[in-house]
Amino acid sequence: MGHCRALVVRYHRDIDSGRATAGIGAFADDAEFEAHGRVFRGRDEILGFLKAREADTGRQTVHVLANEVVTGQGDDDDGSVHKRVELQAMVLLHVRKPDGAYVLDRVLNTVHRFRHAGGEWRITHRTSRPLHPTA
């Protein structure tokens, strides 16, 4: 299950380093990605989101994972264990201000679901919502 966490960390590191499009490799072909109140379906739509994020060079961020809970979602019929995994975590999103200081912008409740296929783990579903939404 450490592979799944590493995939999420690498995806966020790609965004934070200005290479958001490199993060597409974390996602399955049929993945669903929810962010900013929108749902992106499939790698093409997700890549479009990541391209827009990468183009926004004025926005510099640091994502920090906290309060992580990883669970397996049952055995497959063939007897293999944990072919599907879920990672729930708080993501503390810090944004760089003009003076160079990073400030906490928001705390997001995220859920990443993974599937193991073809010898690799991939994100199949990602949701991200503010922990305490504003009215």
For 81-118, the pLDDT digits (tens) are 447 899 999 999 999 999 999 999 999 999 999 998 88
DSSP 18: T
For 16-30, the pLDDT digits (tens) are 999 999 999 999 999
Cβ of 27: how many Cβ atoms within 10 Å?
23
| DSSP bridge partners of 37 | none
Per-residue pLDDT at 17:
97
Q: What is the pTM of this model?
A: 0.86
Per-residue pLDDT at 73:
59
Q: What are the domain boundaries of the chain?
A: 2-130
For 29-87, the pLDDT digits (tens) are 999 999 888 999 999 999 999 999 999 999 999 999 999 998 885 445 554 544 789 99
The CATH code of the domain at 2-130 is 3.10.450.50
Q: Is residue 102 within 8 Å of residue 133, measured between CB atoms?
A: no
The full length of the chain comes to 135
